[in-house]
C-alpha cells in the first residue's frame, strides 16, 4: 500500500502531483492536531499549521513540506534532531507578490516613475519586488543585513529605506538571531516616515507592530497603508482595516500559478526524499522581463497601463471581501473563521503572463511597461 500523505486543503493539484507515490488525504490547516495524523508518513502544510514536537512527537511522519516561502511556522531544529526530512518552496509565489504590489499601486493611483521605493527584506520575494520596480525605472533602495550587500545595485540602512516615498515590507518573521524581525517596524520607525508615505506590508504580519501602526496612523492622517498581512491573524483589527487604503486576507502570494508551483516543488522534494520517480523537475516561476527599462510613461500611457493591470487582477474585490467580512462580523470568532474561509475559497487568480487583456495599448511606452511586467503582448 502506498504511504499516506496528509495535505492541507488549500494546496491545489495535490492529487495530481502526489498520488504517483502516495495516498493523499486532505485536512484543514489551522485545525490539525496530533490525533489527526494517524499513520501518515508525510505532512504537507501551508503557513497556518504549526509544525513542532507537540504535533509530531508521537507520529510516524518522516517528511514535512511547506508549500510556502516562509518557514516561521516550522520548528526546523526539532525536525533535524528527529531526522525528519523537510523542504519549503522558496520563490514559488514571488511573482504573485510582485503582481499584488503592482496592482495595489495601480489601484491606489501611485505612479512608480516619480517615487522612491524602499524594500525591507530582499530574499526571494523582496528581491523580486526590488528587481521588478527597478526594471520599471523606479528608484529603489533595499535593506537586508542578512544577504550579500552587492546583490542589488543600491542597499542601505533601515533609516534609508524608511525615508522613501513607498516602503514595501517583505522580511520573514524571526524572533531571535542578530536581526530579529518581529515588530521591527514599530512606533519609532513609523514616526520616521516622510509626509504622505505609503507603507505596503505583504510579508509577515508581525514584522509590523499593528497596535503602534494604528496609533501612528491616527496621529498622521497623511500616511497611507496597504496591508495584506496582520499581526494577529486570522483576526483582523477593524479599526486598522478602516485606516487602510487596501486591506486583504493574506493573499498576496495566492495566485493559482504560484500555489501550483509550490505544490510541484514540494512533490519533487518528497519524491527525492523517498527515492520515487518524478515526471519532471518544477519549471522556474521567475518571469524574465522582455524589456529591462521601458520608455517613460505619459499621463495617458500610465492610465492605459493602470487599466490593464486592474483588468487582469481585480484587487479591489479582494479588499471588498475582507471589509464585508470584518464589518459584518458579530464576534472575533466570526472574523477568524471568515478570514480562513476567504483564503480557502479564494478565486482563481492567474499571473499576468497567463492573462490576455481585452484592450491592447497602442502607446509604445505602455506596451513596453506591460511587457516588462510579463504580459504576453509580444
In this model, does residue 290 exceed pLDDT 60?
A: no
In this model, does residue 280 exceed pLDDT 90?
A: no
- Domains of the chain, by residue range, sit at 4-88+257-274, 94-252+314-348
pLDDT digits (tens, 9 = 90+) for 40-92: 999 999 989 999 999 999 999 999 999 998 898 999 999 999 999 999 999 99
pLDDT band (50, 70, 90) for residue 291: very low
Residue identified by cell 518571469 is: 287
CATH of domain 94-252+314-348: 3.40.50.720
DSSP string of 146-203, one letter each residue: TS-TTSSS-B--HHHHHTSSEEEE-PPP-SSSSS--TT-B-HHHHHTSPTT-EEEE-S
pLDDT band (50, 70, 90) for residue 293: low
Domains 4-88+257-274 and 94-252+314-348 in one fold: yes
CA atoms of 357 and 335, how far apart (whole Å):
34
In this model, does residue 282 exceed pLDDT 80?
A: no
The residues annotated with a catalytic role in the active site are 204, 233, 250
Say what the pLDDT of residue 191 is. Answer: 96
In this model, does residue 292 exceed pLDDT 60?
A: no
**For the chain, where are the alpha helices, taking DSSP H only?**
14-18, 53-56, 76-81, 94-107, 124-135, 158-162, 187-191, 210-219, 238-243, 256-274, 299-312, 315-328, 332-344, 364-372
The helix-helix angle for 256-274 and 94-107 (nearest 10°) equals: 170
| Mean pLDDT (whole number) for 330-353 | 96
| Mean pLDDT (whole number) for 311-337 | 97
In this model, does residue 288 exceed pLDDT 60?
A: no
Percent of the chain having pLDDT more than 70? 95
Q: Which CATH number fits domain 4-88+257-274: 3.40.50.300, 2.70.70.10, 3.40.50.720, 3.20.20.140?
A: 3.40.50.720
pLDDT band (50, 70, 90) for residue 212: very high
Percent of the chain having pLDDT more than 90? 89
More confidently predicted of 278 and 325: 325
Average pLDDT value for the chain? 93
pLDDT band (50, 70, 90) for residue 362: confident
Amino acid at each position: 500500500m502506498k504511504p499516506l500523505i496528509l495535505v492541507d486543503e488549500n494546496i491545489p493539484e495535490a492529487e495530481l502531483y502526489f498520488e504517483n507515490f502516495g495516498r493523499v488525504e486532505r485536512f484543514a490547516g489551522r485545525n490539525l492536531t496530533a490525533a489527526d495524523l494517524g499513520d501518515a508518513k508525510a505532512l504537507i502544510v501551508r503557513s497556518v499549521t504549526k509544525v513542532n514536537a507537540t504535533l509530531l512527537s508521537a507520529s510516524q511522519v518522516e517528511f514535512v513540506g511547506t508549500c510556502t516561502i516562509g518557514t516561521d511556522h516550522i520548528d526546523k531544529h526539532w525536525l533535524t534532531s528527529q531526522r525528519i526530512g523537510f523542504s519549503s518552496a522558496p520563490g514559488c509565489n514571488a511573482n504573485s507578490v510582485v503582481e499584488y504590489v503592482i496592482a495595489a499601486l495601480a489601484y491606489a493611483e501611485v505612479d512608480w516613475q516619480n517615487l522612491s521605493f524602499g524594500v525591507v527584506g530582499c530574499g526571494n520575494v523582496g528581491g523580486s519586488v526590488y528587481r521588478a520596480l527597478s526594471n520599471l525605472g523606479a528608484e529603489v533602495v533595499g535593506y537586508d543585513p542578512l544577504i550579500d550587500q552587492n546583490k542589488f545595485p543600491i542597499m542601505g540602512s533601515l533609516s534609508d529605506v524608511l525615508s522613501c516615498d513607498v516602503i514595501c515590507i517583505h522580511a520573514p518573521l524571526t524572533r531571535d538571531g542578530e536581526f530579529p524581525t518581529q515588530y521591527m517596524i514599530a512606533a519609532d520607525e513609523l514616526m520616521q516616515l516622510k509626509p504622505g508615505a505609503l507603507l505596503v506590508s505583504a510579508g509577515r504580519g508581525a514584522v509590523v507592530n499593528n497596535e503602534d501602526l494604528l496609533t501612528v496612523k491616527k496621529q498622521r492622517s497623511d500616511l497611507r497603508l496597504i496591508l495584506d498581512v496582520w499581526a494577529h491573524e486570522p483576526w483582523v483589527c477593524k479599526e486598522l482595516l478602516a485606516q487602510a487604503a487596501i486591506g486583504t486576507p493574506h493573499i498576496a502570494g495566492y495566485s493559482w500559478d504560484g500555489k501550483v508551483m509550490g505544490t510541484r516543488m514540494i512533490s519533487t522534494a518528497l519524491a527525492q526524499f523517498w527515492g520515487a520517480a518524478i515526471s519532471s523537475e518544477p519549471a522556474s516561476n521567475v518571469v524574465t522581463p522582455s524589456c529591462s527599462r521601458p520608455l517613460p510613461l505619459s499621463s495617458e500611457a500610465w492610465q492605459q497601463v493602470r487599466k490593464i493591470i486592474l483588468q487582469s487582477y481585480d484587487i479591489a474585490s479582494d479588499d471588498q471581501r475582507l471589509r464585508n467580512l470584518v464589518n459584518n462580523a458579530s464576534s472575533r470568532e466570526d472574523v477568524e473563521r471568515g478570514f480562513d474561509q476567504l483564503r480557502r475559497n479564494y478565486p482563481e487568480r492567474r499571473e499576468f503572463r497567463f492573462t490576455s487583456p481585452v484592450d491592447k495599448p497602442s502607446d509604445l511606452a505602455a506596451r513596453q511597461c506591460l511587457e516588462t511586467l510579463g504580459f504576453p503582448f509580444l
